[in-house]
Amino acid sequence: MKNYAIILFSCCILILAGGLVSGENESFSTNQTISNQTPEPTLIPITPEEELMNLAFIAREFALENGKDSAIAEFSNPNGRFFLNGTGIRAYGVDGTLLADPFSPSNAGTLLISDDYDSGNIRLMRDLATTGGGLFTDPVTKEYWFVMDIDGSWWISASRIIPKAQ
């Protein structure tokens, strides 16, 4: 029995060695070494929704570090760091007052929630932002915003302008 095991082991070694010396191993047969055997990393593309989420988190961090007034000024700036490729940050007070809008800066100061029974998107987004935040999708238009609270007194939405069909 011991001899059979030794013979079987010897056959496996010979078969393995034969594979290394044969043409199956290109680097051995051409006497070249492969410099990088690690496969190229594959980048997983992020979705537009994830882009908005990332922008919202960066904007929230900016607001907490720099204060409300500086953040509102930066969010309102159509040439600022938070307005890129049709994506921007809007800021609202908890009462629904628009504080910053890079898409329409002249609308700042407008009250967009009429009362607590208002069923419009701004109130729904405020409620989502003040209860943890997240992705809000309009069921009719399929537009979406990522909303989050800043400090309990105001909140932001990251949004993308969708060009209207002509």
DSSP3 helix / strand / coil % (the chain, rounded to 5): 40, 20, 45
Q: Could you read off the pLDDT of 2-23 as tens digits, one per residue?
A: 666 566 566 556 565 555 555 5
Query: pTM for this one?
Result: 0.70
Q: Could you read off the pLDDT of 135-156 as tens digits, one per residue?
A: 999 988 889 999 999 999 999 9
Return the closest-CA partner of residue 67 out of 157, 127, 154: 154
In the chain, where are the structural domains located? Answer: 1-30, 48-160
Tell me which CATH homologous superfamily contains domain 48-160.
PAS domain (3.30.450.20)
CA angle (138 as vertex; 79, 123 as ends), nearest 5: 80
Question: What's CA 111's distance to the chain center, in Å?
Answer: 30
Q: Could you read off the pLDDT of 61-120 as tens digits, one per residue?
A: 999 999 999 999 999 998 889 988 889 999 999 999 999 999 888 899 999 888 777 778
